[in-house]
Amino acid sequence: MKFHREGYSILLISFIASLIIGIASYFLLLKNLHCIVFCVIEAINLIFFILIVQFFRIPKRQKTYQDDEIVCPADGEIVVIEETLETEYFNDKRIQVSIFMSPLNVHANYYPVNGVVNYQKYHPGKFLVAWHPKSSTENERTTMVIKTDQGVEVLVRQIAGAVARRICYYNEVGSIAKQGEEFGFIKFGSRIDVFLPKNTELSIAIGDKVQSKLTILGKIKN
């Protein structure tokens, strides 16, 4: 397991802050025999640091894929599967699959299909809770469309949540998308929407816990 580059500075700052709090509480509390207060503060300090470390972890995962498979782009829980009107790019009905990422999930994002990025746009916006119905259209977000070699287009949308305040994406129009390779990161709780053709054969259900690079959302039908 390694740590994501987006977390290097935060991990360093968190470590220094945790160390300072630990030293200060030792001299101010433990030496003055406030043992219970010292233990509580140190427990909270340790838990907070562990959560930060866990958030930026990148576990090692490897899997081979078929060209027609749609790889899950993020860790989390499936909270939406529905046919909906996508108005930013397609202007027609698609199957929307939404994955909610809690602060405990890995937050790197990965390409679900092979192809070429033919649309990429960043939208500033609000910071509604990620499961809010309007978060997909009103929150800070990015929209990316990948065109596969078979000519099928898949839209992936990164959405900031109430806690997430920064969306990172590393692609642009013309970038080559490879299944399972990283394209972005969202800091501290968020959501990913994937818009698929209506004839997609899904293999997930609402409530499923999914893992990026390992879970297959479904198969594209030509």
DSSP 44-55: HHHHHHHHHHHH
Please indicate, yes or no, whether residues 52 and 96 belong to a single structural domain of this protein.
no
Please indicate, yes or no, whether residues 40 and 87 belong to a single structural domain of this protein.
no
Please indicate, yes or no, whether residues 33 and 78 belong to a single structural domain of this protein.
no
- Backbone phi, psi, residue 49, to 5°: -65, -40
Asked if residue 183 lies in contact with residue 130, where contact means CB atoms within 8 angstroms, the answer is no
Q: Which residue type does 24 have?
A: A
pLDDT of residue 46: 82
**Residues marked as catalytic:** 190
User: Residue 28: inside a domain, yes or no?
Assistant: yes
User: Residue 181: inside a domain, yes or no?
Assistant: yes
Please indicate, yes or no, whether residues 157 and 188 belong to a single structural domain of this protein.
yes
Domain around 10: 2-58
pLDDT of residue 163: 57
Name the DSSP letter for residue 30: G
Q: Which residue type does 129 have?
A: V
Instruction: Count Cβ atoms below 10 Å from residue 10 Cβ, excluding itself.
Output: 17
Instruction: Count Cβ atoms below 10 Å from residue 31 Cβ, excluding itself.
Output: 10
Please indicate, yes or no, whether residues 19 and 109 belong to a single structural domain of this protein.
no
Provide the edge-to-edge strand list for the sheet that holds 216-219.
69-71, 216-219, 201-202
User: Residue 155: inside a domain, yes or no?
Assistant: yes
Burial (0-12, 13-18, 19+ Cβ within 10 Å), 172: exposed
pLDDT of residue 15: 78
User: Residue 210: inside a domain, yes or no?
Assistant: yes
Please indicate, yes or no, whether residues 176 and 202 belong to a single structural domain of this protein.
yes
Please indicate, yes or no, whether residues 191 and 115 belong to a single structural domain of this protein.
yes
pLDDT of residue 55: 72
Please indicate, yes or no, whether residues 92 and 7 belong to a single structural domain of this protein.
no
Please indicate, yes or no, whether residues 15 and 122 belong to a single structural domain of this protein.
no
User: Residue 150: inside a domain, yes or no?
Assistant: yes
Tally of domains within the chain: 2
CATH number of the domain at 122, please: 2.70.70.10
Asked if residue 212 lies in contact with residue 82, where contact means CB atoms within 8 angstroms, the answer is no
Please indicate, yes or no, whether residues 184 and 137 belong to a single structural domain of this protein.
yes
Please indicate, yes or no, whether residues 73 and 118 belong to a single structural domain of this protein.
yes
Please indicate, yes or no, whether residues 177 and 202 belong to a single structural domain of this protein.
yes
pLDDT of residue 30: 60
Q: What is the pTM of this model?
A: 0.80
DSSP assignment of 45-95, as one string? HHHHHHHHHHHTEE--------TTEEE--SSEEEEEEEEEEETTTT-EEEE
pLDDT of residue 9: 74
- Backbone phi, psi, residue 31, to 5°: -70, -20
pLDDT of residue 31: 61
User: Residue 6: inside a domain, yes or no?
Assistant: yes
User: Residue 63: inside a domain, yes or no?
Assistant: no
pLDDT of residue 147: 96
* Residues of the chain falling short of pLDDT 70: 1, 3-7, 11, 29-34, 125-138, 161-165, 188-189
**Domain end (from 58, 77, 103):** 58
User: Residue 64: inside a domain, yes or no?
Assistant: no
